[in-house]
């Protein structure tokens, strides 16, 4: 008998939920000796997720104990309702860090219809994996999730045995090599798109819009996404890393620097991250770029719009809000202006409510939002899919953390499609913005090409 047959699939079409949904989830955890996350994620062909934060939490999830999907403009409300049903009555036998969480994300646009390379990626989809391996500080935990305690216990035993047989180190190897690349946006088209946006800005219809491009990379061999992420960790240790693998589609992955929100209890942390210059070849050149960005009226305006919008979007939900001092965020290949923002929530809120209020911030959308969305839709000839959208997790308490799905790509067979964009404001120069976009393709492109 398939003991997992009672586990749940909640689809947006399901007006009334099947009886199995009344069965609460059960989970059990056990502490592990260290284990290679790459080996866990390769262990079989069940669906997989990986989530890792700059502060050292790493989680790999395998299989599906419960799935939540939702489409259309009501997607956030539907997700929240289903999240409550899925987690209602959850019994977790283990430490908090190893508790079941739902991992996934949303598409940038709410009217998203999946087309290649985004086949299988709905407008919103989260899964509670059947098995989680969680590493935080010095501890590693294995958690099994099921619909009844016996199945959870069996699963925990089986995976404990299985992990014992896996290597604790996994070589991170070389990239697959790049055969050729194709752009969705030619240089001429880009210049025309930026100039159209500048005209709208000149007419006062728009203050800022983030325009993006896609770069489709054909590889010399198959790409190993976990291995690529492991190499990205070494070059970009202060970034998030994520992988969302669909059974019936591609693997979306990336190493974004930008936090959309982290919520624990009534505390919320977010940030404005906007304004970009390259790293310099020497410490002096590096500082000169940073100083130029800090002292530039144009960069400060571009950044200030994001901080202001976040403050306004959070105001109805938060009882107090602190905007910290602006700093320079230095990554291996780029530097950004960054302003950390913290708030205390006014009432009992689900992290998805904060995500809904914030997405898209003008770091990836624009101001005013409606004119920016219209400009993006008119200009862009490719599907953003889940690029620049919220990617992360939430738990039974409504806590969670989301990154912005940047410095990312979707792998399908021997192709990886990369996405990157840049903020256009009055005084933006199409050539400089082109260079900024190319720089933002580099993190993943360099790893694919690194042989």
Please list the active-site residues: 208, 258
| Shortest spacing between CB 256 and ligand ISJ, in angstroms | 8
Q: Which is nearer to ligand ISJ, 173 or 278 (CB)?
A: 278
| Shortest spacing between CB 94 and ligand ISJ, in angstroms | 36
Instruction: For residue 363, state whether it binds ligand ISJ (rule: CB under 6 A).
Output: yes
Size of the site for ligand ISJ (CB under 6 A): 17
| Shortest spacing between CB 363 and ligand ISJ, in angstroms | 3
d(CA 417, CA 122): 17
Q: Which is nearer to ligand ISJ, 119 or 296 (CB)?
A: 296
Binding range to ligand ISJ, per CB under 6 A, among 38-46, 181-189, 244-252, 267-275: 267-275
Give the residue, chosen from 53, 216, 276, 339, that forms a contact with ligand ISJ under the rule CB under 6 A: 276
Q: Which is nearer to ligand ISJ, 53 or 143 (CB)?
A: 53
* Residue ranges in 3-62 that form contacts with ligand ISJ under rule CB under 6 A: none
d(CA 361, CA 271): 10
In this structure, the number of other CB atoms found within 10 A of the CB of residue 192 comes to: 14
Give the residue, chosen from 63, 129, 398, 421, that forms a contact with ligand ISJ under the rule CB under 6 A: 421
Backbone angles phi, psi at 347, to 5 degrees: -145, -170
Q: Which is nearer to ligand ISJ, 298 or 349 (CB)?
A: 298
Give the residue, chosen from 21, 125, 224, 258, that forms a contact with ligand ISJ under the rule CB under 6 A: 258
Give the residue, chosen from 35, 244, 273, 411, that forms a contact with ligand ISJ under the rule CB under 6 A: 273
Q: Considering just the CA atoms, what is the radius of gyration of the chain in Å?
A: 22
Q: Which is nearer to ligand ISJ, 71 or 383 (CB)?
A: 383
* Residue ranges in 323-362 that form contacts with ligand ISJ under rule CB under 6 A: 336
Give the residue, chosen from 61, 254, 423, 443, that forms a contact with ligand ISJ under the rule CB under 6 A: 423
* Residue ranges in 197-226 that form contacts with ligand ISJ under rule CB under 6 A: 210
Binding range to ligand ISJ, per CB under 6 A, among 21-29, 167-175, 227-235, 269-277: 269-277
In this structure, the number of other CB atoms found within 10 A of the CB of residue 189 comes to: 14
Instruction: For residue 80, state whether it binds ligand ISJ (rule: CB under 6 A).
Output: no
Instruction: For residue 307, state whether it binds ligand ISJ (rule: CB under 6 A).
Output: no
Contacts with ligand ISJ, 139-168, as mask; x by CB under 6 A: ------------------------------
Give the residue, chosen from 440, 443, 444, 445, that forms a contact with ligand ISJ under the rule CB under 6 A: 440
Give the residue, chosen from 420, 444, 445, 448, that forms a contact with ligand ISJ under the rule CB under 6 A: 420
Q: Which is nearer to ligand ISJ, 68 or 277 (CB)?
A: 277
Instruction: For residue 384, state whether it binds ligand ISJ (rule: CB under 6 A).
Output: no
User: 397 vs 75, 102, 159, 347, CA distance in Å?
Assistant: 20, 11, 27, 13
| Whether the bond into 250 is cis, omega within 30 of 0 | no
Binding range to ligand ISJ, per CB under 6 A, among 72-80, 139-147, 243-251, 268-276: 268-276
Q: Which is nearer to ligand ISJ, 99 or 440 (CB)?
A: 440
Do the Cβ atoms of 410 and 385 come closer than 8 Å? yes
Binding range to ligand ISJ, per CB under 6 A, among 36-44, 137-145, 150-158, 419-427: 419-427
Q: Which is nearer to ligand ISJ, 66 or 106 (CB)?
A: 106
Instruction: For residue 364, state whether it binds ligand ISJ (rule: CB under 6 A).
Output: yes
- Using CB under 6 A as the criterion, which residues of the chain lie in contact with ligand ISJ when the complex forms? 210, 258, 273-276, 336, 363-364, 388, 406-407, 420-423, 440
């Amino acid at each position: 008998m398939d003991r997992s047959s009672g586990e749940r699939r909640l689809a947006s079409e399901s007006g009334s939920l099947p009886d199995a949904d009344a069965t609460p989830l059960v989970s059990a955890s056990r502490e592990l000796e260290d284990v290679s996350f790459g080996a866990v994620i390769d262990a079989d062909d069940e669906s997989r997720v990986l989530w890792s934060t700059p502060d050292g939490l790493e989680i790999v999830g395998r299989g599906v104990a419960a799935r939540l999907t939702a489409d259309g403009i009501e997607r956030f409300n539907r997700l929240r309702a289903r999240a409550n049903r899925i987690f209602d009555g959850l019994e977790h036998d283990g430490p908090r860090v190893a508790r079941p969480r739902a991992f996934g994300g949303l598409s940038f646009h709410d009217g998203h219809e999946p087309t290649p390379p985004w086949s299988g990626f709905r407008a919103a989809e989260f899964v509670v994996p059947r098995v989680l391996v969680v590493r935080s500080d010095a501890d590693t935990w294995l958690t099994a999730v099921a619909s009844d305690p016996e199945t959870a216990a069996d699963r925990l035993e089986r995976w404990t045995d299985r992990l014992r047989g896996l290597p604790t180190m996994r070589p991170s190897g070389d990239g697959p090599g790049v055969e050729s690349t194709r752009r969705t946006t030619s240089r001429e088209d880009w210049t025309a798109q930026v100039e159209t946006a500048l005209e709208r800005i000149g007419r006062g219809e728009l203050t800022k819009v983030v325009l993006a491009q896609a770069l489709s990379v054909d590889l010399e061999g198959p790409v190993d996404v976990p291995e690529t992420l492991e190499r990205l960790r070494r070059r970009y240790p202060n970034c998030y890393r994520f992988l969302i693998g669909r059974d019936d589609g591609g693997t979306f992955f990336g190493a974004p620097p930008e936090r959309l929100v982290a919520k624990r209890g009534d505390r919320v942390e977010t940030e404005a991250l906007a304004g970009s210059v390259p790293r310099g070849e020497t410490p002096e050149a590096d500082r000169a770029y940073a100083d130029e960005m800090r002292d530039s009226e144009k960069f400060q305006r571009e950044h200030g719009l994001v901080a202001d919008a976040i403050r306004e979007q959070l105001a109805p939900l938060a009882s107090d809000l602190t905007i910290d001092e602006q700093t320079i965020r230095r990554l291996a290949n780029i530097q950004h202006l960054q302003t950390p923002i913290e708030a205390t929530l006014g009432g009992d809120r689900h992290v998805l409510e904060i995500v809904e209020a914030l997405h898209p911030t003008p770091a990836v959308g624009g101001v005013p939002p409606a004119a920016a969305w219209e400009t993006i839709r008119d200009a862009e000839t490719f599907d953003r899919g889940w690029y620049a959208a919220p990617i992360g997790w939430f738990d039974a308490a409504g806590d969670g953390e989301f990154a912005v799905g940047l410095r990312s790509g979707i792998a399908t067979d021997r192709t990886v499609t990369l996405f990157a964009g840049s903020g256009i404001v009055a005084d933006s120069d199409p050539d400089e913005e082109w260079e900024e976009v190319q720089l933002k393709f580099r993190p993943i492109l360099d790893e694919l090409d690194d042989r």
